[in-house]
Structure 1
């Protein structure tokens, strides 16, 4: 990781529970190894979270327009330390304004860390809110004593912008903690104009892909199709009930298929797997009906016939599936026909003979 810019400010709350920015802090020396470790720790803490929402800036979010405009101007600037300090202070001011509109419980003090860094081929802007924690140390006489230190392992709120993806005009280039509909958690996302814009179609298809890949990469290939079928059934049920799909629910489905000898290793790991950069499945999303249909069914038609069957019924010749496809003759064989279908076909053929 190459740390390019870093600004730290203290966000305090007065007796009336109104947030304000301390005069302390500002730009930090990016060559300081402790500064580099601070940002690396925050980035690692965010990567461990499986409750990220993926999205973009919302042009209709009036509260976030100030920061969005400042960010656009910063990207077009030389991006030096002075430019970054201006951007950070605008963002922190907006954060204080947004925090003043939420509950007393959410409006608590902390440290706002604004950072810009290069990590492999991507450049990021990471904003995090952290707080102090109480620890124990020993004084000179080796007596236990209380100490206070910054809890870098626990992010209370965070937003991460992929500057590279933003510059390439990707549909999704930021991620943030919490859902935008949860009032107490929304102030952070609102301050920076974040919104969940990952389409339900993409979230649905990527979740299915993540489920397949999770099985493949963890030695569960023989259970892959059953896992996908169970996940699709869950998504279809949520869609029918007009309910959102949730990653923790899907994780429970995956947990039920994990072999006993790998339960300790794999149980509870799917949410983080699907929520990561490879798939970017949001913590909560609306299942996409047409995508579910495309995943589970084969539909086709010609001038004189039409097909509509479940994909799980299809296989190659000799597979034993109800519907077998012969690549040599480009034909399909229907097996195990119900009695009523057999009678219907026989009746149709008798009628054709009589007409002839």
Structure 2
């Protein structure tokens, strides 16, 4: 990844009833400093680890009500230099102060707002996150323990990431947000400040993608390969989740095109992305795969009074099939084929101990 611009500002809100204010502290941090890249990498990693993201786009129907939108468009359409970056951070801070002063965010507190513009693979991003202090322990000159305050970069209280590349191509879902709990309430003043009113949780995008995959197969003479396709989609989502990368409909569309029968290629190839992005599925163009939702489709755990089985769904099949685990519904049995030698030895030892 290439870090292009980095800035840090401070937003103070000392109590629920106190108004938010922007301090004069902070500003642009030279990206040539090693600590700048270390800070960014930690921040980006913390954002990427979050699976409960919401995704959406700007509310262009009410740009006057959300001044950040026009400021962002000016930034993207002009040369993205340090001056324009600073101007955008100033506008962002103003809108964050307005949003956090809204009664709906009365439980939220301020902190340090970090702005980073960077390039990763074929995409360009803007990452904005709010972090706070945490107490730590250090030593003074006489090696006496003393309390020190450090920035807790691992815990993001609010965050937003904008895919500039996707935005320039006028694709949907170029915005990703995380919210935080403040006294039991979920606050999303970041999405309010940046004019995003049409958001889709990553849990919903992950689940609806699987549903769209099955429906697409049914509608395009691919029913016989439906489970195989779904298995590949789930594997792709699992891989992206493991590598802390977003899932992208373009990638999944390429996966589908490999399965489309030749006679359907002219009408069906290159259409899955649009199919899944529109209603009734409304899958975000780009989203963070949701771990527990993936596991629900990828894994199966069955349990009786004195035993349990936990396995990948792709291992399960009907009786006399080719799967490792066969379900014999008529006789109420599960047959496990091709046991590894290690498992066979464990079972033999267990039986010998009983003797």
Verify same fold: TM over 0.5. yes
How far apart are 1:251 and its partner, in Å? Answer: 5.8
Residue 123 of structure 2 corresponds to 122
Q: Does residue 46 in structure 1 map to residue 65 in structure 2?
A: no
1:267-290 Cα offsets, whole Å, 9 max, x none, are 9xxxxxxxxxxxxxxxxxxxxxxx
Cα shift readout 1:15-53 (whole Å, capped 9, x = no counterpart): 751110001111221111111111211111011001101
- TM-score w.r.t. the length of structure 1 is 0.58
Which residue of 2 is the match for residue 79 of structure 1?
80
Query: Partner of 2:68 in structure 1?
Result: 67
Q: Number of aligned pairs?
A: 245
Q: 1:125 to 1:27 in 2, by over 3 A?
A: same
Structure 1 stretch displaced more, 7-16 or 153-162: 7-16
Alignment-derived partner of residue 4 in structure 1: 4
1:190-232 deviation line (CA, Å, top 9, x unaligned): 10012345599965442456973476578xxxxxxxxxxxxxx
Identify which range, 29-38 or 150-159, moves more after superposition: 29-38
The residue correspondences of 1:134-283 to structure 2 (distance < 5 A) are 134-178=135-179, 184-196=186-198, 204-208=207-211, 212-213=231-232, 216=235, 250=293, 253=296, 257=300
SS in structure 1 of the partner of residue 187 of structure 2: helix
1:30 match: 31
Distance 1:193 1:30 in 2: 28
The answer as to whether partners of 1:102 and 1:184 remain within 8 angstroms in 2 is no
Gaps of 5+ in 2: 214-228, 239-279, 281-288, 323-355
Per the normalisation by structure 2, the TM-score is 0.58
* DSSP-derived class of the 2:60 partner: coil
Gaps of 5+ in 1: 219-238, 240-245, 268-311, 321-356
Query: 1:323 maps to what in 2?
Result: none
Q: Give the CA deviation at 1:57.
A: 1.0
Contact preservation (8 Å) 1:64, 1:191: no
2:134 corresponds in structure 1 to: 133
* Separation in structure 2 between the aligned mates of residue 68 and residue 257 of structure 1, nearest angstrom: 44
SS at match of 2:115: strand
Residue 95 of structure 2 corresponds to residue 94 of structure 1: yes
CA shift, 1:13, in A, is: 2.0
1:14 and 1:215 map into 2 onto residues whose CA distance is: 45
For residue 146 of structure 2, give the secondary structure of its aligned residue in structure 1: strand
Aligned partner of residue 257 in structure 1, secondary structure: strand
User: How many angstroms apart in 1 are the aligned matches of 2:27 and 2:4?
Assistant: 15
CA distance in 2, matches of 1:262, 1:127: 43
Q: Structure 1: how far apart are the matches of 2:292 and 2:36?
A: 38
Q: Find the structure with the greater CA-based Rg.
A: 1
CA offsets, 1:56-88, max 9 Å, x none? Answer: 112245686200000000111111111110011
Q: 2:100, 2:106 within 8 Å by CA — same for their partners in 1? A: no
Shift in alpha-carbon separation, 1:204–1:249, aligned structure 2, 3 A: closer
Change beyond 3 A, Cα 1:34–1:257: same
Instruction: Find the aligned partners of 1:126 and 1:164 in 2 and give their Cα distance.
Output: 13
**1:229-280 deviation line (CA, Å, top 9, x unaligned):** xxxxxxxxxx9xxxxxx967736735862699997xx99xxxxxxxxxxxxx
Question: Within 2, Cα distance between the matches of 1:8 and 1:126?
Answer: 12
The aligned counterpart of 1:222 is none
Give 1:147 shift.
0.8
